[in-house]
Amino acid sequence: VPSTFEENLELSDFSSVHEFAVETARCKALEVWNRLKISKVKPDLIISADTVVYFAGEVFPKPRFKEKAVGILEKLSGQTHKVVTGVALVIVDYSKEEIEFEVKTFYEETEVEFCELSPEMIRTYVETNEPLDKAGGYAIQGVGGTFVQSIHGDYFNVVGFPLHKFCCEIYKLCSENLL
C-alpha cells in the first residue's frame, strides 16, 4: 500500500540526515497505518522506507525534471556521497481489546564514489529518463551503476532498501516475540 504522505520535511529541522530519513519513513508508515486501521485490511506489520542521497550538506531528492538531474549529477561527479535509508516498522498487536501498535526505526548508510562525469556522459544518461525517479538522480542497478567507482556498505541500500539490516531487525523482533 503506497503512502500518500507528502514528503515535505525540511532537512534543517533535523540534527542529521539520518534523523531526516528515519522521520520521513516513520511519517509514511504512520500515514498508511492510519488509513488501514479503519479499513477491512488488518496488517500485522507495515514497512516503510525513505532513501536520500546526501553530499556537501545537501539532500538530493528524486529529480522531476531533466535539468535538475543534470545539476545533481554535475555535483556528484568525481565525489563520494552518502546514501541514507530510514526504515520504519509499525508492529500491530490485535491481542488486546484495544489495538496497540509500536513503531521501530533504524537507518543504513552507504558511501558511493562516482567517477568524473563528462557533460556528454551526464546528458546522454539523463536522456534515458532513468534518473527522473531515483534519489540522487541515478540508479545503481541500472545504467547509472556505470558511474560508480566504489561502494562502501550495503549495495541494496543504494538501490533503495537496506536488505541485510532489515533482515537482522526482523530476526531480532521475531526473537523477542514481537512478530
Q: What is the largest CA-CA distance in the chain?
A: 63
Cβ contacts of 142 within 8 Å, gap of 6 or more: 130
Gap between the Cα atoms of 107 and 51, Å rounded: 9
Is 166 exposed, middle or buried (CB count within 10 Å of its CB: 0-12, 13-18, 19+)?
A: buried
Cβ atoms within 10 Å, residue 129: 10
Gap between the Cα atoms of 18 and 13, Å rounded: 12
- Check if 133 is active-site: no
Gap between the Cα atoms of 129 and 137, Å rounded: 10
Dihedral Cα 124, 118, 148, 136, nearest 10 deg? -70
Query: Exactly one of 50, 93, 133, 154 is catalytic; which is it?
Result: 50
Residues catalogued as catalytic: 50
